[in-house]
Structure 1
Amino acid sequence: MTAGGPVDGVVLGLPSPRLRPYVARYVGYRERADLPLVRREVAGAFVVLILGWGAPLDVEDPRSGGPSAYGVDSFVAGTFDGWCRTRTVGVGEGVELLLAPLAARRIFGLPMDELANRAVDVTALPGGWLDRLRCRLAAAPGWPERFALLDAALAARLAGSEPVDPRVAWAWRRLTASGGLTSIGWLAGELGWSRRHLAVRFRREVGLSPKTTARLLRFQRAYAALTGPACSAPPIPDDDAPGGGTEAPGDGADAPAGGAGASGESAKPGGGAGQPGGGAGGALGGAGELADGWAQLAARCGYYDQSHLIRDFREFAGDTPAALLAARTAATAGR
């Protein structure tokens, strides 16, 4: 598909090898919505960058009572601990990137707590480099050229960036590798910090507290079981230690990867080009799954019980697991 092609769809691009610890993939998209298209986006411990041209997008956080961003075609959405809605109409085209928070910290050069629970128009970010990149992407003749522009721009940003705090990177890797099951008290103790100090340092680099991040990682693991194939966090070397030992590529900012977006529409603008998972096992069988199936999923993903799982789904996805699975099954059957 070329930039001016008449067919709606997506094009997936693989970043250059040196960028893969930071960015899982590029998702180019073109879609037409003759009527307002509304999607529900789930929460996640990841950062979304959309560089688009064409139809603008509204992003609404129901907790705020109003739009988080209105009429934007390009924005950065930080780590979110609640679900939100996006709305668009018309023809939109652009590219979506899903970033681990530590990668976003280096690429954007901003403390991640400044972006948490926000969708920020790229024109409001320092330096103007993202808006200039958007213009170059829009003018490029096709997707191979656009993906090459992204490679060059992101590599330049990383080359000039400061590394993240290695102690926070270590804590992040421990949390992601365990699917959010590592004790926050244990992490603080291993670092020689109080839980409060760990929370302050962690928010600056990741955007949310370690406790909230752990909850999101557990949710992502369960959500991946409903929406797509499982994916696992990179293994942690045996000699990994806080502030020393073996460092994973990119300061532990391993790129997220995963299944489908909350709406069941893979790789659509603002639609979540995949939720990072934590090794959640296979997808459930269907919307009529017995209660024991949900209880098993809850236990596998580190929840106390089924009701604990359902509470987190309501908070982070806006509905119960059964309702989300039923909607996804119905949408798939209708295609």
Structure 2
Amino acid sequence: MLTEAVVGLPAPALRPWVDRYLGYREELPGPVVRREVAGAFVVLVLGWGDPLDITDPRAAGRGAYGANAFLAGPFDGWCATRGAGTGTGVQVLLTAPAARRLLGLPLGELANRVAPVDRVAGWLARLRDELAGEPGWPGRFRRLDAALTARLVATDPVDGRLLAAWRRLDGSGGAVGVAALADEIGWSRRHLAVRFRQEFGLPPKTVARLLRFQRAYATLGRTVLTAPAADPDGSGWAERAARWGYYDQSHLTREFREFAGAPPAALARAGSHSSNPG
């Protein structure tokens, strides 16, 4: 059960890169397993409470066990978390370009992986300890501001053509084709795919699919869906599939199974959404 959730707004210089901080405290009386959906983003958790296990059902070696401070993703498949006890910390969701800039490393090294922060960067491990030592959220958020602002000074900018390609893809919700994207920035399709994957973790075609899924998944969470009795043949899902940019209902269902581990109708039930916003 979430007992505390505090949102912090980053310093102005950070807002092009960081949307918000989420400070949390959660009490889990017994083991709780959650499914976390795939996403073309990086999740940074700087926690100091009881640890979690994070597993990828496709490959055990991609997860992390007994971790309370970790980096996850980007992921092109769903994962599961298992935890109990008291979890406390700060979560930051980063777009791939923001993570590339702030971490100072190509996301190809993080794709489809969860890694404890002390295995990724010493400054993240030190930051976690500093946050744990602060008595309140305002002081923790100020420490985050200071650390992340210092990273902007210490790291090189993201390649401008890759950044333009990401923004174009993101702005279209994944609707721009890779060939058109390559033409727009003046690279070959192959060169764009290789560089994009190296720097942002996943190839542009996969990112386009994930961006479309993320929008559909977020919409699913906000929409009051038709009751099954009023939609006996499931025709409402065909309409939603078209509205969300899928070829048909089968296409929508396949993508949701791959990225969320369940069809959209199952996820629409109360309490079925993961803690990962997609």
Q: Give me the TM-score of the superposition, normalised by structure 2.
A: 0.93
Among candidates 134, 139, 145, match of residue 139 of structure 2: 145
Among candidates 179, 183, 192, match of residue 173 of structure 2: 179
CA contact (8 A) 1:287 1:329 kept: no
- AA aligned to 1:285 is L
Q: Describe the shift of the 1:74–1:312 C-alpha distance in structure 2 as closer, same or farther (beyond 3 A).
A: same
Q: Which residue in the other structure is 1:328 paired with?
A: 271
- AA aligned to 1:321 is P
Q: Which residue in the other structure is 1:210 paired with?
A: 204
Q: Which residue in the other structure is 2:244 paired with?
A: 301
Q: Which residue in the other structure is 1:48 paired with?
A: 43
CA contact (8 A) 2:47 2:128 kept: yes
- Quick one: distance in 2 between partners of 1:22 and 1:321? 31
CA contact (8 A) 2:100 2:200 kept: yes
- Quick one: distance in 2 between partners of 1:26 and 1:322? 31
Deviation at 1:298, TM superposition (A): 1.3
Deviation at 1:120, TM superposition (A): 0.7
User: Could you list the runs of 5+ residues in structure 1 that have no partner in the other structure?
Assistant: 1-6, 229-282
- AA aligned to 2:51 is P
Q: Which residue in the other structure is 1:316 paired with?
A: 259
- Quick one: distance in 2 between partners of 1:205 and 1:66? 22
Q: Which residue in the other structure is 2:18 paired with?
A: 23
Equivalent residues, number:
270
Q: Which residue in the other structure is 1:33 paired with?
A: 28
Q: Secondary structure of the residue that 2:40 maps to in structure 1? A: coil
Q: Describe the shift of the 1:286–1:74 C-alpha distance in structure 2 as closer, same or farther (beyond 3 A).
A: farther
Among candidates 285, 293, 296, match of residue 225 of structure 2: 285
TM alignment of 1:168-317, pairs within 5 A: 168-228=162-222, 283-286=223-226, 288=228, 290=231, 291-317=234-260
CA contact (8 A) 2:62 2:114 kept: no
Q: Secondary structure of the residue that 2:247 maps to in structure 1? A: coil
CA contact (8 A) 2:4 2:25 kept: yes
Q: Describe the shift of the 1:136–1:177 C-alpha distance in structure 2 as closer, same or farther (beyond 3 A).
A: same
- Quick one: distance in 2 between partners of 1:54 and 1:65? 24
Deviation at 1:136, TM superposition (A): 0.6
Among candidates 75, 82, 88, match of residue 83 of structure 2: 88
- AA aligned to 1:39 is R
- Quick one: distance in 1 between partners of 2:226 and 2:150? 45
Extract structure 1 runs of 4+ deviating beyond 4 A: none
CA contact (8 A) 2:62 2:113 kept: no
- Quick one: distance in 1 between partners of 2:22 and 2:83? 18
Deviation at 1:285, TM superposition (A): 2.2
Residues 102-111 or 64-73, more deviating:
64-73
Q: Describe the shift of the 1:219–1:287 C-alpha distance in structure 2 as closer, same or farther (beyond 3 A).
A: farther
CA contact (8 A) 2:267 2:273 kept: no
- Quick one: distance in 1 between partners of 2:207 and 2:263? 20
- Quick one: distance in 1 between partners of 2:15 and 2:69? 22
Q: Secondary structure of the residue that 1:189 maps to in structure 2? A: helix
- Quick one: distance in 2 between partners of 1:26 and 1:117? 23
Among candidates 42, 56, 59, match of residue 54 of structure 2: 59
- Quick one: distance in 2 between partners of 1:316 and 1:301? 15
Q: Which residue in the other structure is 1:255 paired with?
A: none
CA contact (8 A) 1:58 1:67 kept: no
The answer on 1:125 being equivalent to 2:65 is: no
- Quick one: distance in 2 between partners of 1:287 and 1:85? 28
CA contact (8 A) 1:287 1:322 kept: no
User: Could you list the runs of 5+ residues in structure 2 that have no partner in the other structure?
Assistant: none
